[in-house]
Amino acid sequence: SMQDKNALHLYSVNGKYLGSETLKEEVSDMCVTGEYIVMGSLQGFLSIRDLYSLSLSISPLAMRLPIHCISVTKEYSHILVGLEDGKLIIVGVGKPAEV
């Protein structure tokens, strides 16, 4: 039998198909911020992808619990991650000296 596969598809504003990327995780929430897509999965991974190429910008961060929601602050300085157990994880964005 075939496994269910998850994919991220990219279309232009006019509806032209631009590409797709197969995902290993089941996406639970996503947020488009500037030139990036921030995604959380039920397998507990936080991923940041380039909006135009759909490639990973950094390796996925393991949160160890399913992610229920994500949000990015107005200044793009932090990512807020809500987990299944009710915890809120705050991830700093940028170089370590800036965070």
Number of domains in the chain: 1
- Has residue 24 been placed in a domain? yes
The CA-atom distances, in angstroms, between 48 and each of 14, 33, 83, 86 are: 25, 10, 17, 22
Q: What share of the chain is helix, strand, coil (3-state, %, to 5)?
A: 0, 55, 45
Residue 97 has pLDDT above 80, yes or no: no
Dist. CA 70–CA 21, nearest whole Å: 21
The pTM of the full predicted model, rounded to 2 decimals, is: 0.85
* CATH value at residue 63: 2.40.128.630
- Residue 52: give the domain boundaries: 2-92
Residue 21 has pLDDT above 90, yes or no: yes
DSSP character for 2? P
- Has residue 33 been placed in a domain? yes
Residue 51 has pLDDT above 90, yes or no: yes
- Has residue 99 been placed in a domain? no
Residue 99 has pLDDT above 70, yes or no: no
Tell me what the mean pLDDT of segment 66-94 comes to. 94
Instruction: Provide the Cα torsion 53, 34, 40, 98; round to 10°.
Output: 110
